[in-house]
Amino acid sequence: MARKPEFYFTSLLSALACIVLLLNNVFCVLADNGSKTPNVLFIMSDDQDSHMKSMDYMPHVKNLLAANGTTFQKHYCTTALCCPSRISLFTGKCVHNTNVTDVRLPFGAYPKFVSEGLNDDYLPLWLQDGGINTYYVGKFSNGHSIHNYRDPEVNGWTDSNFLLEPGMYDYENTTWARKGQQWKSFPNQNAVTITGQYALEMLSQAANSGKPFFLTVAPTAPHVGLNASGKGSFFPIPQKKWENAFGDETVPRAPNFNPQKPSGVSWLQNLPYQNETLIERLDQLYRARLRVIAGLDDMVADLVSALEKHGILNNTHIIYTTDNGYHIGQHRMGPGKRTGYETDINIPMVWRGPGVPVNKITNTVSTHTDLAPTFLDLFGLPRRTQLDGSIMPLTESAMDASVGSRVEHVNVEHWGAAHTYEVVAPHKNFNVAGEHNNTYKSVRIMGDGYNIYYSVWCTNEHELYDMTTDGYQMDNLLPKVRDIAQVPDRQLLGRPLSNVVARLDTLLLVLKSCRGSECTDPWRQLHPQGNVGSLREALNQQYDDFYASQPKVMFSACQEGYLIEFEGPQTAMQYNGGDSGLTR
């Protein structure tokens, strides 16, 4: 029996519908697996440590991000202080090139960011030029307040909801300003809860825009609380869910925790041995930090769940990090940051995203200065020539290729005071001698067979730690050295210590005022022929005279900000291969 034409027409429609449905599913799968421009969710906490095991108390970050991504355990900030670190991150420039070196005027804060011209030339503007929507929730910068948030507005964000001073750090009385709206405060509401709610709202807006997006979520936890009325500081205040958690936890008693003998140089040698009363306060702060960190962990889980509901999880890079590290009791220090020690500069960095190896831990060296060029590369946008960082390797092949070829060094710098006791002893002035002289330049260098930290303070005291054998930085190899001609007669890396120090000092001479490629490839600035690319290669005996003849890193005075005239020689000589090896 012949079939009617209607049958064929109906069958054709059914077949076409199946094909459309199949193609739609294929396109959805392809889109969700990174065949189009990805999204970025960038989560940055405030003052979170790596070296007191804070990440061990974040099971959601472990299971949702680390197990499905890569942990960069050698990731560093280059200045261990909130505002300078954040501005460096979003500009891709070393702090000496942003000239935003403090959290307050005249050397730092939001007005300094504006006056340096950075509000008109930084990452979100570059992303917008490339067609990317940009969003921000949380703390942008110290000094960003209810008095100046419109004078001018922060540029570059498609939409934003900023935490503002004076309630920026007041955990139960925060002040916020949505883009284009009047600021408002939220008394008796927890800061972590509000940040999470606003983050989910902004994520929904970004996901529904139909365009690739870059969303930053920047809670102030676990930073210490600062009262909006200006009446003092207090421990971080957790959400009700976590207020009684972690009651038995204490600061890890590592070898550098409240040592019997003082370590380091400058003001650190004047720190008193901490008594049990003070140590109990340190432990109380530690527990308070863990409680708000647990709230951040919940927020991460909520954001990942929201990405999944929007169908974009597998096409989104999710990064969890912080602005700088933190110390509590190490080297006899009270709570704080601002030093060049590993507690303050080596920070969490967990990265999940399309193409990123899963459940991987890498020792690849990276810094916050690398993030801006890396984000530009993720979105397929051209690199800006003025950037001081390099692209982080985010695939297995890129990580393999980076072994032995990627940067081995981290430029670390700080200006101003140390603030030796944050929050735990507001009733007592310790008057630590010399704590205002916390200006220093240093280099953290890691490579095949070496792991070193070298610093020169504004007092011209020196530090050198062989972190292969002294990971807690307790044995300074240059304890009484103010001139590197006074280096002790001993060996390091199979060479006389004086030869090693000469290389490190010259490397620091390049890095302390570097720009652009000088920051990522400093050895080429010294050896333009390209035959030296690492400390190991620079230690060749043929270069001994060359390095011994270099100008030395030094300061003529301690200053609160970056005043180049007080920071000694700025230019190293180049190796020309002749008898002297020197070229100006």
How far apart CA 343 and CA 324 sit, in angstroms, is: 9
User: What is the per-residue pLDDT for 390?
Assistant: 95
CA within 13 Å, CB half, 455: 26
How far apart CA 65 and CA 199 sit, in angstroms, is: 18
When pLDDT is averaged across residues 165-182 and rounded to a whole number, the result is: 97
User: What is the per-residue pLDDT for 33?
Assistant: 40
From the list 290, 46, 122, 306, the residue with the least C-alpha distance to 199 is: 306
User: What is the per-residue pLDDT for 14?
Assistant: 46
Rg (the chain; Cα; Å): 26
User: What is the per-residue pLDDT for 507?
Assistant: 98
pLDDT, averaged across the chain: 91
> Between vectors from CA 511 to CA 483 and to CA 398, what angle results, nearest 5°?
135
How far apart CA 505 and CA 556 sit, in angstroms, is: 17
User: What is the per-residue pLDDT for 5?
Assistant: 43
Whole-structure pTM value: 0.92
Give the count of beta carbons closer than 10 Å to the beta carbon of residue 403: 12
204-214 pLDDT, tens per residue? 999 999 999 99
pLDDT band at 249 (very low <50, low <70, confident <90, very high): very high
For residue 541, what is the DSSP state?
G
Pairing of strands 462-466, 450-457: antiparallel
List where CATH 3.40.720.10 sits in the chain: 36-409
For residue 530, what is the DSSP state?
S
CB 526, CB 510: distance < 8 Å: yes
User: What is the per-residue pLDDT for 8?
Assistant: 40
Is residue 304 over pLDDT 90? yes
How far apart CA 338 and CA 326 sit, in angstroms, is: 8
Strand order in the sheet with 39-45: 184-187, 173-178, 159-164, 133-139, 213-218, 39-45, 316-322, 349-352, 70-72, 360-362
User: What is the per-residue pLDDT for 567?
Assistant: 97
Cα Dmax for the chain: 107
Q: What share of the chain is helix, strand, coil (3-state, %, to 5)?
A: 35, 20, 50
Phi then psi for 75, rounded to 5 degrees?
-100, 140
Structure tokens at 271: 């720190």
Q: Helix, strand, or coil here: 455?
A: strand
Q: Is 8 exposed, middle or buried (0-12, 13-18, 19+ CB in 10 A)?
A: exposed
How far apart CA 282 and CA 335 sit, in angstroms, is: 7
Phi then psi for 492, rounded to 5 degrees?
-150, 130
User: What is the per-residue pLDDT for 419?
Assistant: 76
How far apart CA 337 and CA 46 sit, in angstroms, is: 11
The secondary element (H helix, E strand) that includes residue 427 is: none
75-108 pLDDT, tens per residue? 999 999 999 999 999 999 999 999 999 999 999 9
User: What is the per-residue pLDDT for 422?
Assistant: 66
How far apart CA 152 and CA 143 sit, in angstroms, is: 13
How far apart CA 352 and CA 75 sit, in angstroms, is: 15
523-549 pLDDT, tens per residue? 999 999 999 999 999 999 999 999 999
How far apart CA 331 and CA 327 sit, in angstroms, is: 9
Structure tokens at 61: 């970050």
Sole residue written with tokens 């420039």 = 93
Phi then psi for 469, rounded to 5 degrees?
-110, -15
225-236 pLDDT, tens per residue? 999 887 788 999
User: What is the per-residue pLDDT for 425?
Assistant: 57
Q: Is 478 exposed, middle or buried (0-12, 13-18, 19+ CB in 10 A)?
A: buried
Sole residue written with tokens 């220093």 = 440
Is residue 28 over pLDDT 60? no
Q: 36-409 belongs to which CATH class?
A: alpha beta
User: What is the per-residue pLDDT for 27?
Assistant: 40
Is residue 2 over pLDDT 70? no
Phi then psi for 310, rounded to 5 degrees?
-80, -5
414-436 pLDDT, tens per residue? 999 887 666 665 445 444 656 78
User: Which amino acid does the sequence have at 212?
Assistant: P
When pLDDT is averaged across residues 367-371 and rounded to a whole number, the result is: 98
When pLDDT is averaged across residues 283-293 and rounded to a whole number, the result is: 98
How far apart CA 527 and CA 439 sit, in angstroms, is: 29
Residues 6+ positions from 2 with CB-CB distance below 8 Å: none
Output the CA–CA distances (angstroms, integers) from residue 29 to 32, 65, 69, 232, 356, in the order listed.
5, 21, 20, 53, 18
Three-class HEC string of 131-180 = CCEEEEEEECCCCCECCCCCCCCCCCCCEEEEEEECCCCCCCEEEEEECC
From the list 187, 192, 191, 183, the residue with the least C-alpha distance to 173 is: 187
For 343-404, give the DSSP string: HHHB--EEEE-TTPPSSEEE---EEGGGHHHHHHHHTTPPPPTT----PPP-SHHHHHHHTT
pLDDT band at 581 (very low <50, low <70, confident <90, very high): low
Q: Which residue has the higher pLDDT, 559 or 32?
A: 559
Phi then psi for 318, rounded to 5 degrees?
-115, 120
Output the CA–CA distances (angstroms, integers) from residue 218 to 20, 110, 137, 147, 164, in the order listed.
41, 16, 6, 21, 12
pLDDT band at 23 (very low <50, low <70, confident <90, very high): very low
